Amino acid sequence: MNKEQYNYLSKQILDSSIEVHRTMGPGLLESVYEECLLEELRSRGIFCEQQVYLPLIYKGKELNKDFRLDILVENKIIIEIKAVEYLQAVHNAQIISYLKLADKKLGFLINFNVSLLKEGFKRFVNGF
């Protein structure tokens, strides 16, 4: 995937997130925003997977623990959804860790529990 494709998908993710926030407003559960964002992205013709299994690999060995990515866009971009009063440093660390563990270049941390979505929309890159 080239830079233009990443930029196009990033814009679609932002626009879709704004539409979900505008339609649903703040104050709902993360799972509600996840379903709505998934539907909005798919309605735009974007391939998305939900609750994607990510195994824990330690020193080349798969351990008995896994993670779940909220949304994986076009098998390239991770979206982690929150509905919290404030994003904490641990939320940033979570998306950064997911990017590294999944070997993905781009991720978004989106907190829908805000007045304006731009206050809760964060972009993360991993060697991009």
**CATH assignment of the domain containing 61:** 3.40.1350
Structural domain boundaries enclosing 77: 3-125
The distance in angstroms from the start CA to the end CA of the chain is: 11
Pair 91, 108: CB distance under 8 Å: no
Vertex 59 angle, CA 53 and 62, to 5°: 35
**Per-residue model confidence as pLDDT tens for the chain (128 residues):** 899 999 999 999 999 999 999 999 999 999 999 999 999 999 999 999 999 999 998 999 999 999 999 999 999 999 999 999 999 999 999 999 999 999 999 999 999 999 999 999 999 999 75
Return the pLDDT at 113: 97
Return the pLDDT at 1: 87
Number of folded domains in the chain? Answer: 1
